[in-house]
Every structure is written in structure tokens, then in C-alpha cells.
Amino acid sequence: MRIAYQGVEGAYSEAAALRFNPNADPVPRVSFDEVFTAVEARQATHGILPIENTIGGTIHRNYDLMLEHELQIVAEVKHPIAHNLIVCRGTTLDQVRRVYSHPQGLAQCERFLQTLKDVEIVATYDTAGSAKMIKEGELSDSAAIASERAAQVFDLEILETSVQDFADNFTRFLIISRDAVPLGKPNKTTIVFTVSNIAGALFKALSVFALRDIDLTKLESRPIPNRPFEYLFYADIAANRDELRCARALMHLAEFAPSLRTLGSYPAWTD
């Protein structure tokens, strides 16, 4: 199992891939777009995408990419996120003038970062990539917000541990594949749909699940490109799409939704 992920060795996505399958072969890619390309080009059997964090919220770019591509969600994994302030060996806290990390990493450590005086906060493409940049550039006046493994990989020093705003910090990742066969018994389904811009349209759409006692575990709206102030709705449904009540709910939803697409039916992560 080759799993493409965004980042470099030591990234949280790599750790999540190995949490899902300890025997997997993680394949690093620079961007989320390249993760999709790697799977479509058969350079990897699967891809892994962070989709939401308990502090930072939704990673909207990956919702948009799911719509742009035809890959299916076949599994999910939840991974604990513990951020650390990482520096070149010998650098002290009072020497730090810049802190680099992915925007999500920075958002999850906002309270800690506010305690640092006269320090520039710089967003980068990756947490582990920030650690790599500090190592390769020998930046003795800079720090990265990244994982403990990133510090080990790049032989850096951890100045402060667990600097995230809340101890219970988790990210949910989706596993995507060309093959729609779920990696386990499916009990969760992700869909994307639109509704007409008329009174009660969204209420009617969601009622198809309430009438059948189907739980919606997440509902997210995203703008529709080139259609100002019109929206797509992404929903996670606590049911297998092939289950009779879910299948009927989706057929009922199609009566109200001008467009409806199932992005995958897969096993919910239980660990």
C-alpha cells in the first residue's frame, strides 16, 4: 500500500498514514493537488488528506479538490496532533525572531504564539517542511511549529513541547483511491449537493435524513466557483450508502437537489 501525502518526512500526514497502516509506504508530495495526481497517475495506490482539525477547523482546499477529481473516499483515520517549538541546536528562546509553520499549525498554537514578543509569524506550506528549512538554512534565529518526529528527522532541538492551544488536538484524515471499494465495512458516507435558492430548500433536503433517523455528523458549505453567493453543501452521514434507509434518503434528496454526488462510503475511525 503506497500512500501519497502532502509534506516531507516527519509531516503529520505521514504519521497518520502509518497510523492507518503501519506497513504502508508513504510517498511525499509538495501539495495536496499533487497527492491527487499521484493517485490518478498510479504513482500511489492511495492518498491521505487532512480534512478537519478540532482546533483549526476544516481544511477547505481538500473539499474543493474532492469535487475537482473523481477519486473516492475509502477510509478515514484520526490522529492526535502535538505541536512543538523546534530550533537549531543551541538556539535559545530569546534568540528566536521568526516562527514558521503551516497556517493550520499556527492557528492551533495561537495562544502560545501570542506570548512571544517581537517575533514574526510566517506561514509556510508544511509543518515538517518548516523544520527542514530551518535545518538546511541553519537559521539560528528561527523556529518551526512541527512534530517531535520532524525534530528527530532533521536533528533539531525541541524548545517547548505541546504548544497547541488545547491538549485534545486531533485531525481527521481521509484516505482516497481510484478504486471505490472501502477499506473495511462502511458505516459512513460523504456526499456533496446543491439546493435551489428558495425558501425552505435546505430544510427539505436535510429532512430526508431526519425522517429516517439518520445522523448527520458534519455539514459544511462551500462557495460554487463562478457563481457568486451560491453554495455547495458537504455532509457526512452516519450510514452506509447501500443500507436501505440511506439509499432511500439519497433518492429522496435527489428530488430537492439539482446536483448530488457521493464522494465515498467507508468505515468510520473508531480508535
- Nine cell digits for residue 75: 477510509
Set 20, 32, 36, 173: catalytic member:
173
Q: How far is CA 133 from the centre of its chain?
A: 23
Give the length of the chain: 271
Residue in 171, 189, 190, 194 annotated catalytic: 171
Lookup result for grid cell 523556529: 143
Reported as type and span, the H/E element at residue 175 is strand 170-177
**Catalytic annotation present for 171:** yes
The tally of CA atoms less than 13 A away on the side-chain side of residue 223 is 6
Which amino acid is located at 209 in the chain? F
Q: Can you read off the three cell numbers belonging to residue 44?
A: 500511489
Assign residue 7 a region (left: φ > 0; alpha: ψ between -120 and 50; beta: otherwise): left
As annotated, the active-site residues are 171, 173
